[in-house]
Structure 1
């Protein structure tokens, strides 16, 4: 560590630990050195050590657990706005091995004015509503509300989406798998319903993604709202000129 050049020492210490965490030198749930240990190791003040730890916590690399100390946080799942893939696919690509789905609701409904505008169908059209909790490594990660255009998916209720992939069924059984998706990403605060399902406190901040999925003929096949735990996900996108 060099105390005579920029960036400030607390940022150098933070960068040191980020590199170690990303290279699994410090593993998930492993305890990090205390402020006293950091100040001795790097020959810095306790305040500088505290600022470095605070930066790690603020950026999601670590968390504080009362008097027990500071620990490495679980790695966040990367979700991107570059490729169109099922939710389970994103989890597995990020190294989440044990992926499960709990179906809370799967029903046939008629489109009201709100759903009519989302799926571009007449009011009263037959649609499907599918509500699922996405679970990774025994931890609830997201609540997904999916509305599916019934004009292309007759008989969809016979499938068990706690075991089946929705995208796989749309592709192999109905030939209407979405080829394009238009999405928005917003910050949200979980209400009691979603907080309970995600096992967090009411008012905990997270992210909501909303998107329409289109088939190759530009028909809207699905409209999806996903409530993502903010401590478990990070989002990437690609820009090109």
Structure 2
């Protein structure tokens, strides 16, 4: 096998890469399926581990597969590009081809008292009433995110009743409440799926996740909501267009 790799290294890794790509494109390897092990691929293509690793890394770089340490390499779902900075691209309607109709399922509606963190984020007094809606967001039938939305109970006393199962938060704010939306503060962090998150998102424990923290303000600067979204990292990429003076350019 070493002599094969030494004689035609580029051809050999390309054969492995092409063979795996064709299996993914044809559906022989479906989304979430585990690729054969390095040893199995070495045996199948009669090449060395170095060749297999190069071929698989190219597929990882391309986004067709992803690795989980200690578990193996798996076929990725096609990613959607979320373009932040475009008009109305505040919510998950920027993610799906369905134009704001991504299905949602309510997991929890509750009222709580603002702790120090929520007090600071929503600019309300500690102990003030806060409403929480936790929803599972889908792209068609695939769960993509767990959304935690917090609003001031004083500012929106009927929020828990008003936010419907399948309603966009921003549709509620702008159309139902008649508010003029201002800036959105967005922080993106990364994490890996815990057991409870993996169960809801239909992914493997340890899978990559985005954690999106958002505060949307009205035109006067008042916080309208704070949200935390736990999103599958294999389902989305974020694209920002930044001007030379550091502003996000409307696309």
TM range (shorter): 0.7 to 0.9
* Pair 1:134 & 2:137 matched: yes
Q: Select the residue among 172, 195, 206 that pairs with 2:198.
A: 195
Gaps in structure 1 of 5+ consecutive residues: 1-7, 65-69
Q: For residue 103 of structure 2, give the secondary structure of its aligned residue in structure 1.
A: strand
Counterparts of 2:85 and 2:227, CA distance in 1: 17
CA distance in 1, matches of 2:106, 2:95: 17
1:92 and 2:96 are equivalent in the alignment: yes
What residue ranges of structure 2 are gaps of 5+ in the alignment?
1-8, 31-35, 68-72, 245-251
Are 2:171 and 1:173 equivalent residues in the alignment?
Answer: no
Query: CA offsets, 1:172-201, max 9 Å, x none?
Result: 222235321111111112223222211223
Residues 1-241 of structure 1 correspond to what in structure 2 (within 5 A)? 9=10, 27=25, 29=27, 48=51, 51-62=54-65, 73-83=76-86, 84-93=88-97, 99-176=102-179, 178-241=181-244
Distance 1:207 1:131 in 2: 17
Preserved CA contact (<8 Å) 1:153 1:174: no
- Report the alpha carbon displacement of residue 124 of structure 1 after superposing the two structures with TM: 2.1
SS at match of 1:142: strand
String of CA shifts for 1:59-93, please: whole Å, max 9, x gaps: 422469xxxxx997431122233235353312324
Work out the number of aligned pairs and report it. Answer: 215
RMSD: 3.7
Contact 1:134–1:142 (CA<8 Å) still a contact in 2?
yes
Structure 1 pair 220–154 and aligned structure 2 pair: CA distance change class (3 A): same
Distance 1:97 1:152, change over 3 A: closer
Tell whether the 8 Å contact from 1:29 to 1:73 is kept in structure 2 after alignment.
no
Contact 1:29 1:74 in 2 (8 A): no
Displacement of 1:96 after TM fit?
A: 8.6
Render the CA deviation track for 1:208-236: whole Å, top value 9, x for unaligned. Answer: 01111111110011111111111111111
Hey, which bits of structure 1, 4+ residues long, moved more than 4 A?
44-50, 95-98
Q: Give the structure-2-normalised TM-score.
A: 0.70
Distance 2:64 2:49 in 1: 20
The 3 A distance-change label for structure 1 pair 74 and 28 is farther
